[in-house]
């Protein structure tokens, strides 16, 4: 879906100590975070700056395309209206109005807003109120406020543009709305609440910057691990063989305690290796009768589950099967698809290759089949 976005960066931001939209956060200007997120989601972006601050926007957004700057007005509402007048698309499009002071805008929030607009005039991300709310005067409580149906409004607030413009046209000229949603609300429009995110916090006070820096640093700290695995099984009498989770008709089978799928065993060891969790025999001892004839899918699923429990994710796997026969190539795509399914990975993150050893060694003489595997895992730093 194409949509427009107005990013309001015209405030003086005195509470956070200066012009916070130009300050550096996690190595780039505050404004740049949300503009990048909106551009990546496919938005045409209008940045509203204080009059004369357009050059600062050019500097902060250097190298990005698909945005332009307009001057803001006296109040935030004036700035938003300047941004709305600068939109050039057709009136049935969607517009998101966002505060530059909320840099950590995720694609998930953008997508939730776009979905909500299919059945509402507007939509805003919001969080439930966790703290008990008190009304106070002269340093003492005057009332405890029922918080069950109260929400903390975030931005972007998203609207069907024609609906927002119509609501603005009827807004009393002597009043200033608290936010954009209130204009549509007052006009009888339906503004949906979608799930917001704590990370989408507004940088208001100087300590908010410290918290945002810590969140960004924690999110960026990951380590990449690579694990390797090797397995071999002996050929014996049979009519089919399991390789990488696929049963292939063959004039022999591989002998083993389980289904002897050397490809899955090597890969299971690679995944376990990447997280320092021993090997397949530690988790599924060959002396344990319950694994006799077991489908090796279980072993790989278990290893992948351990990666998840460690807070990590599997990024990529690569298996090499080493044998003279059977021919692997006709079954390679089925094997990749099966591994992708077991590991919940995209197909292009799963590789299966095969080679012979040119009649040399135990694989070359047809005594057995060998498999090698590598798994790449990302873990929290």
Q: Are 312 and 380 in contact (CB under 8 A)?
A: yes
Kindly write out the interface string for residues 182-221 of this chain, putting x where it contacts Mg ion by CB under 5 A and - elsewhere. ----------------------------------------
Say whether residue 180 binds Mg ion (CB under 5 A). no
- Strands 28-29 and 24-25, bridge-based pairing: antiparallel
The residue range among 139-147, 204-212, 227-235, 236-244 that interacts with Mg ion, by the rule CB under 5 A, is: 227-235
**Cα–Cα distance between 251 and 241 in angstroms, integer?**
9
Instruction: Please answer whether residues 338 and 245 qualify as being in contact, where contact means their C-beta atoms are separated by less than 8 angstroms.
Output: yes
**Shortest Cβ 242–Mg ion spacing (Å):** 11
Question: Of 87 and 271, which CB lies nearer to Mg ion in the complex structure?
Answer: 271
Handedness of CA 74, 76, 81, 86 (dihedral sign): positive
Nearer to Mg ion, 101 or 371 (CB): 371
# residues near Mg ion by CB under 5 A: 2
Q: Which of positions 14-73 make contact with Mg ion (CB under 5 A)?
A: none
Span of 34-42, 130-138, 145-153, 260-268 interacting with Mg ion by CB under 5 A: 260-268
Q: Which residue has the tokens 């004369």?
A: 52
Task: Based on the shown chain and the rule CB under 5 A, indicate whether residue 121 belongs to the binding site for Mg ion.
Answer: no
Give yes or no for residue 231 binding Mg ion (CB under 5 A): yes
Shortest gap between Cβ of 314 and Mg ion (angstroms)? Answer: 20
- How far is Cα 124 from Cα 312, in angstroms, rounded to an integer? 31
The span from the CA of 248 to the CA of 131, in Å, is 61
CB neighbours (10 Å) of residue 296?
Answer: 27
Give the angle 35-197-47 at the CA atoms, nearest 5°.
20
User: Which string of x and - marks every residue 262-281 that binds Mg ion (by CB under 5 A)?
Assistant: ---x----------------
Q: Quick one: 110 or 322, whose CB is closer to Mg ion?
A: 322
Q: With contact defined as beta carbons under 8 Å apart, do 55 and 14 qualify? A: no
Cα–Cα distance measured from residue 23 to residue 190, given in angstroms and rounded to the nearest whole number: 36
Closest approach of Mg ion to the CB of residue 333, in Å: 24
The residue (of 215 and 298) whose beta carbon lies closer to Mg ion is 298
Report, in Å, the least distance between residue 156 CB and Mg ion.
53
Over the window 316 to 355, marking each residue x when it contacts Mg ion by CB under 5 A and - when it does not, the resulting string is: ----------------------------------------
Hey, is 35 helix, strand or coil?
helix
Nearer to Mg ion, 17 or 293 (CB): 293
| Shortest Å, Cβ 324 to Mg ion | 19
The stretch near Mg ion (CB under 5 A) out of 52-60, 112-120, 193-201, 230-238 is 230-238
Helix ranges (DSSP H) in the chain: 30-40, 54-60, 76-85, 107-116, 161-169, 180-186, 206-220, 262-274, 280-283, 297-309, 332-343, 361-364
Looking at the Cβ atoms of 97 and 369, the one nearer to Mg ion is 369
Locate 277 and state its tokens.
Answer: 């969790």
Q: In a 3-state reduction of DSSP, which class is residue 379?
A: strand
Per DSSP bridges, beta strands 133-137 and 140-145 are antiparallel
Residue closer to Mg ion (CB basis): 180 or 231: 231
Q: Interface residues with Mg ion (CB under 5 A)?
A: 231, 265
């Amino acid at each position: 879906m194409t949509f427009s976005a107005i990013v309001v960066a015209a405030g003086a931001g005195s509470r956070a100590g200066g012009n916070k939209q130009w300050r550096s956060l996690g190595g780039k200007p505050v404004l740049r975070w949300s503009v990048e997120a909106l551009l990546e989601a496919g938005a045409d972006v209008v940045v509203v700056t204080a009059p004369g601050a357009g050059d600062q926007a050019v500097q902060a957004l250097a190298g990005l395309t698909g945005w332009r700057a307009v001057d803001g007005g006296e109040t935030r509402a004036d700035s938003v209206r300047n941004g709305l007048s600068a939109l050039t698309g057709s009136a049935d499009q969607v517009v998101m109005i966002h505060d530059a002071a909320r840099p950590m805008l995720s694609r998930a929030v953008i997508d939730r807003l776009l979905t909500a607009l299919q059945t509402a005039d507007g939509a805003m991300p919001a969080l439930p109120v966790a703290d008990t709310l008190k009304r106070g005067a002269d340093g003492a409580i005057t009332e405890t406020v029922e918080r069950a149906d109260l929400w903390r409004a975030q931005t972007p607030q998203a609207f069907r543009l024609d609906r927002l413009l119509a609501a603005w046209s009827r807004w009393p000229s002597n009043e200033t709305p608290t936010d954009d949603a209130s204009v549509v609300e007052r006009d009888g429009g339906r503004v949906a609440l979608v799930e917001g995110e704590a990370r989408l916090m507004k940088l208001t006070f100087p300590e908010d910057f410290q918290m945002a820096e810590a969140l960004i640093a924690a999110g960026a700290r990951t380590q990449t691990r690579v694990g390797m695995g090797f397995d071999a099984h002996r050929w014996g009498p049979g009519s089919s063989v399991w390789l990488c989770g696929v049963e292939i008709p063959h004039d022999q089978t591989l002998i083993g305690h389980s289904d002897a799928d050397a490809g899955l065993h090597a890969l299971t060891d690679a995944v376990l290796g990447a997280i320092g969790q021993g090997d397949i025999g530690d988790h599924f001892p060959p002396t344990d009768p319950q694994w006799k004839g077991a489908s090796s899918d279980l072993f790989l699923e278990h290893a992948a589950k351990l990666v998840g429990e460690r807070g990590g994710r599997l990024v990529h796997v690569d298996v090499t099967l080493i044998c003279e026969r059977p021919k692997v190539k006709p079954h390679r795509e089925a094997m990749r698809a099966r591994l992708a399914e077991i590991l919940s990975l995209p197909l292009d993150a799963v590789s299966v290759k095969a080679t012979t050893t040119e009649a040399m060694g135990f694989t070359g003489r047809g005594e057995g089949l060998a498999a090698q595997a590598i798994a790449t895992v990302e873990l929290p730093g």
